[in-house]
Amino acid sequence: MSGKREIRTSDGAAPVGAYSQGLVVGDFVYTSGMGPLDPATGEVVGADVAAQTHQTLRNLAAVLAAQGLGFDDVVKATVHLQNLKEDFAAYNEVYKSYFNEPYPVRTTVGSQLMDILVEIDFVAYKGR
């Protein structure tokens, strides 16, 4: 597909598989699903969903920043929680602290995750 450009930054968690941290396609930035990995060590940061959500959002912020974007540019978020019912309230408190209204549209689902409690991906608009 022509017109897509990879985003790569050492400030966010490195991919652990065959995927890019993010892609720019036209006026949109698509991030991969990111979790609470420390960019320097690759280790999981935080024992609870609040701490893991903070680290996940820091990783996503790094990918957005590599394109001169921030959380106000996010238009869509998809969120996977290992323990949806138990962790939703704590995750949501952290998540909303990163955004201003109007909040991005969002889908939050329970998923079987590999040794993490949260994974989030974004679609951001850079056409302003």
Tens digits of residue pLDDT in 27-47: 999 999 999 999 999 999 999
**Residues 46-63, mean pLDDT to the nearest whole number:** 98
Q: What is the CATH number of the domain that holds 40?
A: 3.30.1330.40
pLDDT of the residue at 127:
80
pLDDT of the residue at 2:
63
Domain count, the chain: 1
Of 10-19, 32-41, 94-103, where does mean pLDDT reach its minimum? Answer: 10-19
- Tell me if 38 sits within 8 A of 55, measured CB to CB: yes
Q: How far apart are CA 55 and CA 37, in angstroms?
A: 7
The whole domain housing 102 covers 4-125
